Structure 1
Amino acid sequence: MKKWLMFVVFSALIVTLVACSNDEAGDSDGKVELDFWVFGSTGYDVLVEEYMEEHPDVKINFNEGEMEDMHNNLFTSLSAGSGAPDIAQIEISEITKFMQAQDQFYNLNDYGAEDVEANFLDWKWAQARSVDDSFQIGLPTDIGPTTLFYRTDVMEEAGFPTDPEELAAEIDTWDAYYEAALTIMEKTGKPITDSPEMLFNAIRDQQEQQYFNEDDELIIEDTVKASYDFATKMIQEGLVGKNELWSPEWGNGMAEGSYATMPGSPAWMIANVKGNAPDAGGKWSLTTIPEGAGNWGGSFLTIPKESEHPEEAFEFISWLTSPEIQLRSFHNNGLFPSTPDVYEDEEFLATSDEYFNGAETAKIFAEAAQSVKTVYMGVNYAIVNNELATALMNVAIEGADPQEEWDAAVERINTQLERQ
């Protein structure tokens, strides 16, 4: 009787251990289960379904939310040591912050990242790489190379060509942009652009260094002060409007044609213009920005250390960020690819947009993408950016002295940096 009871107990123990082993490997039906957090309208939900059909041994739980909420939830989960997903999308403005906690993420170099590095633009790859090149926190998804959006009707009234290549040849430097602003104001009474911050950002993003060097030392006096001075000069001369980015007034101006250009507009801005000005089709176009492009936006796919399935997670994100799938994401959802092989695809290059007066949008953005410089942003990038934006708007709205506003912004920046 005792031997029989011992046999039953032993058998039950074996069953329990097997069940626990299965739970650790995947869900109850034996599949590997991956939680995937994303933000925005990526269209990845459709691709996740496709991947699961092709990989029946993998189940992916797709969770889509607002960008700020997703990043906050990820940070909280990592800090608590529980609740993080297997795969997390991180936006470029946040990637340096999470790089500070790289011990909470898998180094993708250990899973084959170096084998796919050649798929991506050099500057984009570098944004998710440690300063010493030893740690790769994410694989690149979309990008936001910048261009010059413009109102064809305003340009025509001011006597400028409306063809993208002809306009780019005429406004090919920032000095030429300033001269164009004088002409546009004289002929139409309209500012060349309506957002002081957007003008400043467009010039800043062309610099090889911006707010910090790789030792995280503040270097704005030597790098972006000239951009600030140029923008505030144009503000003081009444050549730039006074509306903040994302304000209703700024959006209304897209529909009304109350300003001529939007410098530093990335690929994803197309949707914003169409959304704010649905009846202005044919009145907008785009061309290359003076003196070379910058980048605004884009993201990466990372694998937090809490994942028990880093190999399967890496296999999935390698597929999702491959040139073939990025091309499909571009056609389906407008996510501009970070994989330059795509830029040679004939169908891709033939992409045009009738709303933007038939401009060859893909070709223009692809050329812009290949001229972007590699820039180190720094973990406190947002602190500096917010204070300089405040200074610009004080000059525009309150008529404040530009140098006094700069000095005040630098003082606020240094105070905040000392608290970090």
Structure 2
Amino acid sequence: METTMMKHSKLVGAFALTTVTILGLTSCSGGGGGGAAPAADEDNKPDKLTVAAWMDFPQELLDGFEEETGIEVVVNSFPDGASAQTVLRNGLSSDGAGLSDVHLIEVDWWTEMMAVPEDWVELPEIEDRWVDWKVTQGSVDGKITGYGTDIGPLGIAFNQDMTAAAGVAGSPEEFAELIGGDAATWETFLDAGREYVKTSDNYFIDSLANAFQAAVNLLPAAFEDPDSGKPYDLADNDEVKDLFMTFADAAQDGVSAGIAIGHADWGAGFQNKQWATVVTPAWMTGIIAENAAGVDGWRVSSTFPDGGGNWGGSFFAVPATGKNTAWAVELADYLTSADAAVDWFHTTGQFPSQVEAMQSPDIADTENEFFGGQKIGQIYGDLAASAGDAAAGGFRGENFAGIQTLVVDGIKLVESGAATPEEAWDKVVSDFEALGFDTAS
């Protein structure tokens, strides 16, 4: 999920090499009525198009569209994905009031926003542009309603100077062994954290809430039944409870600073060397480089617990109520081309879901100065490839994002010292039950 993040470089996607919020949405389908947009008409060209997003756009990308079409692109920028989600939810329930021509939609709240497919323009198929599962994610009832931007294979950024000072690992190879090597699990990763804090005066990780969220994304169906779409009864969801307790116990053991991405002190934590690791989907690499600027020693491990997976990824979609839907489709196409994906990679670190961009040496062979010259594109490509089907992430129904927020907040309770693991779980279950879901049997 794209958590509540700082504005700059919010997204950074991820790719697999070819070797390879809340709950409920009541929506009015509006005047557009869905369906495919007509072809763009040169005689009815708007002066400008608007895009709602929470990330920085490569300026040359925006300029290029204006040069090609004569249409100015205005970015309606939000401080974070949650703000963009709220505006979109409100607009969909108000016959399109306040919506932009194109909206960026994050995968964790995609299903909720697509609850009424007629609210969205059906987009033309573009053969062989994206990895297959990205197209499937961006489709509703077999119709494409979102063009994919990035994907988010999971990695771990760590500061090798800090781990070396603690006497536990002084290189990416040693760090990989520290967290369990090829057999790494969340348990071995958290045990490495317990080992680290014994010999260090800072924390092993910025936030176990973030790490837990990444772990949830590895589950095939964490909170909802894929067949019915109904939430599972959380009190009986042993898979999620066991995972919750694994992380909550580590939180109680003091391995985490309890400062998640989006927290006001997150940037200062890097500058103060407050933690040595961060669970880092590919889109987060640029954000870390910005917040830890001037701090040496950060690297990305090629090893991830439980074989790896995906966290995040977004789509550009066109509301059917827009006045310029045909040209908006042209813009969504333009913003998700392979060339655009390469531009975004170099601007924000966003990793592509586009097959051609994945194959580009301009991505795979680029050395990242901040991460000690590592080829970040190659590392995340290998991580995505090793994740296999898990790279697509688990099932996300309409209520996924809201339920996940409840459970992640429970981890934060333990991190803050406000509750024991058992007390935190009981509160999570109580809060879930208060929502009154018709749960899956």
Name the TM tier (shorter chain).
0.7 to 0.9
Instruction: Report the alpha carbon displacement of residue 403 of structure 1 after superposing the two structures with TM.
Output: 2.3
2:409 to 390, 393, 397: 390
Cα 1:383–1:417, aligned 2, differ >3 Å: closer, same or farther?
farther
What residue is the counterpart of 1:63 in the other structure?
A: 75
1:37 to 51, 57, 68: 51
Q: Which residue of 102, 106, 113 maps to 2:121? A: 106
Deviation at residue 279 of structure 1 after TM alignment = 2.2
Q: Note if contact 2:251-2:414 (Cα within 8 Å) is conserved in structure 1.
A: yes
* 1:120 corresponds to 2:130: yes
- Mark the CA change 1:103 to 1:412 in structure 2 (over 3 Å): closer, same or farther: same
Counterpart CA distance in 2 for 1:43 and 1:63 is 8
What amino acid does structure 2 have at the position aligned with 1:129?
A: S
Aligned residues of 2:209 and 2:258 also touching (Cα < 8 A) = no
Q: Which residue of 2 aligns with 1:190?
A: 202
Match of 1:218 in 2: 231
Is the contact between residue 241 and residue 396 of structure 1 (CA under 8 Å) also seen in structure 2? yes
Query: Structure 1: which amino acid aligns with 2:396?
Result: M
Q: Per the alignment, do residues 407 and 49 of structure 1 end up closer, same or farther by CA in structure 2, a change over 3 Å counting? A: same
SS in 1 for 2:414: helix
* Residue 309 (structure 1) shift: 5.0
Match of 1:243 in 2: 259
> Relative contact order (C-alpha < 8 Å, sep 6+): which is higher?
2
Name the counterpart of 1:323: 338
Matches of 1:273 and 1:413 in 2, distance apart? 33
Aligned to 1:269: 284
Greater mean alpha carbon deviation, residues 73-82 or residues 348-357: 73-82
The aligned residue for residue 89 of structure 2 is 75
CA separation of 1:37 and 1:170: change in aligned 2, threshold 3 A: same
Ranges in structure 1 where 5+ consecutive residues have no aligned partner: 1-24
Count of residues paired in the alignment: 385
Determine if the alignment matches structure 1 residue 341 to structure 2 residue 356. Answer: yes
**CA offsets, 1:196-230, max 9 Å, x none?**
20221232222222222222232351432222111
Of residues 143, 148, 163, the one that matches 2:156 is 148
Query: Match of 1:7?
Result: none
CA contact (8 A) 1:348 1:362 kept: yes
Identify the residue that residue 301 of structure 2 maps to in structure 1. 287
Determine which of 421, 425, 431 is the counterpart of 1:402: 421
SS at match of 2:300: strand
Which residue number in structure 2 is paired with residue 332 of structure 1?
Answer: 347
Q: Aligned partner of 1:138: which letter?
A: G
Distance 1:244 1:208, change over 3 A: same
Q: By how many angstroms is 1:49 displaced?
A: 2.7
Deviates more, 1:158-167 or 1:206-215: 158-167
Residue 172 of structure 2, aligned match among 157, 161, 164: 164
What amino acid sits opposite 2:358 in the alignment?
Answer: Y
Aligned mates of 1:312, 1:399 — CA distance in 2: 52
**Cα deviation, residue 156, structure 1:** 0.8
Deviation at 1:169, TM superposition (A): 4.3
Alignment identity in percent?
A: 24
Does the alignment pair 1:138 with 2:138?
A: no
Give the Cα–Cα distance (whole angstroms) in 2 for the partners of residues 284 and 210 of structure 1. 32
Decide whether aligned partners of structure 1 residues 202 and 261 sit closer, same or farther in structure 2, where only a CA change above 3 A counts: same
Contact kept? 2:104, 2:315, Cα under 8 Å: yes
> Structure 1's 252 and 63: CA in aligned 2 closer, same or farther, altered over 3 A?
closer
Cα distance between partner residues in 2 of 1:194 and 1:52: 41
For residue 307 of structure 2, give the secondary structure of its aligned residue in structure 1.
coil
Q: How far off its partner does 1:165 sit? A: 4.1
1:373 aligns with 2:392: yes
Contact 2:160 2:172 in 1 (8 A): no
Deviation at 1:357, TM superposition (A): 2.0
Per the alignment, do residues 351 and 52 of structure 1 end up closer, same or farther by CA in structure 2, a change over 3 Å counting?
Answer: same
- Root-mean-square deviation over aligned CA pairs: 2.9
Deviations 1:288-346 (A, max 9, x none): 32223333333211121124554443333223212222112212332221113322222
In structure 2, distance between residues paired with 1:417 and 1:381: 15
Given that 1:197 and 1:245 are in contact with CA atoms closer than 8 Å, whether structure 2 keeps it comes out as: no
Q: Considering only CA atoms, is the larger Rg found in Structure 1 or Structure 2?
A: 1
> Following the alignment from structure 2 to structure 1, what is the Cα–Cα distance between the partners of residues 89 and 253?
44
The amino acid that maps onto 2:298 is W
Residues of 1 paired with 2:305 and 2:328: CA distance?
A: 41
TM-fit CA distance, 1:261: 1.0
CA shift for structure 1 position 231: 0.5
Q: What is the Cα deviation at residue 82 of structure 1?
A: 4.4
Contact 1:127 1:376 (C-alpha < 8 Å) held by counterparts: no
Q: Which amino acid aligns with 2:253?
A: E
